[in-house]
Homo-oligomer: A and B are copies of this chain.
Amino acid sequence: MENFTFWNPTRIEFGIDKEKEIGKHLEANGIKKVLLAYGSERIKKDGLFDTVAASLKAHNIAFVELGGIVSNPLLSKVYEGISVAKAHNVDAILAVGGGSVLDSSKAIAAGALTENDVWDFFLGKATVEKALPIFDIITLAATGSEMNHGAVITNDATHQKYFIQAPALFPKVSIINPQLQSSVSKEYLVYSASDVIAHCIEGYFTATTHPLFISKQIEVIITTVMETTEKLLENPNDDEARGEFAWAATCALNGLTHVGVAGIGFPNHMIEHAISAMCNIPHGAGLSIVMPAWMKWYRQYNETQFTRFATTIFGQKSAEEGIEALEAWFRKIGTPTKFSEYGIEEKSLPVIIENAVDNAHYFGMEKVYTKEVIAEILKNAL
């Protein structure tokens, strides 16, 4: 195992009715006023907004709203949130929604404590040293943002989908009530499954050092996500499956699957970010298109691990069979595996490739992921 530091101070409050305690947790952290960030108006119809508002009121916590955060969340909305947070002098950000709402909240939390452009953090021109404390009620299990210190935002002016990471961005308290996630559509469930599997396989395949213990832990997350996804497609109200799915999603990107490994990269995310920043397709859907395509190309560099994957996850013998089985499973659950499913044709590839090459530089992978290599990978998804 390689040397590592592991530190994850986020308090997880998992389970039924935990959202009703949000006011208590805020008060315990000395918070008096929050920016309440959310996505669509759905939370006002389904009662979650009222539940949160009642809990805040019961603990004398004031709030100002920031609604309308979209999937593939936008920098323009982050700027708006920073303005509101500063104008109202809030003590904290409370995200109520999925990964997009939480990632936007993290960016707002960092931006609220600087006079500089928050995008500078994403460009690496400045480092996030401090941020307003972040709290969340996560309503979609997928990104793992509820237990990590990263955030991904799309600059709507430049189509750059970039990220920040900093210790100050760990949420203080993350509330995960799986029942709140039972209204997630079938489409977003399978995109989420794809996203979690992507978080698992990036390090699993790309690491130059990968302890067997860590490989095994990742395989357990993958099989759990696959099994529970199938159960939830049959019965969206299977609370046990919903809970295990949610917790597996959190565990896939809370740092523990990356300890002791060396040399990992996130090439699938690098390529997918280039696609969704251009075409605005759901992140998980983009990933289920990219993964098989990338695996067919990358397999040659880690045949041993690909063979292990095939055997452990699918009971197959060869690396090739494992990739085919994953692609078949994606088709089975109904997440796309080809560009054509979004009407993206070969003639659209050059602009995506150009954006992916830019991303390769951003991810520090430009030596391997040249224009030619990215083109070869993307052609596998046509």
Question: Do residues B11 and A4 form an inter-chain contact, with CB atoms below 8 A?
Answer: no
1/0 per residue A1-26: CB within 8 Å of B? 11111111111111110100000000
Does A240 sit within 8 A of B, measured CB to CB?
yes
Closest to A244 in B: B213
Partner of A14, one of B15, B212, B224, B259: B259
Binds B, one of A99-107, A215-223, A270-278, A323-331: A215-223
Q: A213-B224, A240-B1 are in contact. Are A11 and B7 (CB under 8 A)?
A: yes
Q: How many Å from the CB of A136 to the closest CB on chain B?
A: 15
Does A211 sit within 8 A of B, measured CB to CB?
yes
Does A35 sit within 8 A of B, measured CB to CB?
no
When distances are taken between beta carbons in the complex, the residues of chain B under 8 Å from A216 are: 220, 223-224
Does A248 sit within 8 A of B, measured CB to CB?
yes
Does A247 sit within 8 A of B, measured CB to CB?
yes
Closest to A16 in B: B3
Q: A5-B12, A12-B6, A178-B1 are in contact. Are A243 and B224 (CB under 8 A)?
A: no
1/0 per residue A205-234: CB within 8 Å of B? 000000111001100110110010000000
Does A260 sit within 8 A of B, measured CB to CB?
yes
When distances are taken between beta carbons in the complex, the residues of chain B under 8 Å from A14 are: 1, 3-6, 259-260
Give the CA-CA distance A243 to B1 in the complex, in Å. 6
Q: How many Å from the CB of A376 to the closest CB on chain B?
A: 34
Question: Do residues A11 and B15 form an inter-chain contact, with CB atoms below 8 A?
Answer: no
When distances are taken between beta carbons in the complex, the residues of chain B under 8 Å from A223 are: 216
Please tell me how many copies of the chain the complex holds: 2
Question: Do residues A213 and B178 form an inter-chain contact, with CB atoms below 8 A?
Answer: no
Closest to A14 in B: B4
Give the CA-CA distance A228 to B4 in the complex, in Å. 20
Give the CA-CA distance A211 to B18 in the complex, in Å. 19
When distances are taken between beta carbons in the complex, the residues of chain B under 8 Å from A1 are: 14-15, 178, 240, 243-244, 247
Question: Do residues B11 and A6 form an inter-chain contact, with CB atoms below 8 A?
Answer: yes
When distances are taken between beta carbons in the complex, the residues of chain B under 8 Å from A2 are: 15
Closest to A224 in B: B213
- Which of A7, A18, A248 has the most C-beta atoms of chain B within 10 angstroms of its own C-beta? A7
5 tightest Cβ-Cβ pairs between the two chains A and B? A3-B15, A1-B243, A7-B11, A6-B12, A216-B220
Binding site for B on A (CB under 8 A): 1-16, 18, 178, 211-213, 216-217, 220-221, 223-224, 227, 240, 243-244, 247-248, 256, 259-260
What are 21 A-B contacts defined by CB distance under 8 Å? A1-B178, A1-B243, A1-B244, A2-B15, A3-B15, A3-B16, A5-B11, A5-B13, A5-B14, A6-B12, A7-B9, A7-B10, A7-B11, A14-B260, A211-B243, A211-B244, A213-B221, A213-B224, A216-B223, A216-B224, A256-B256
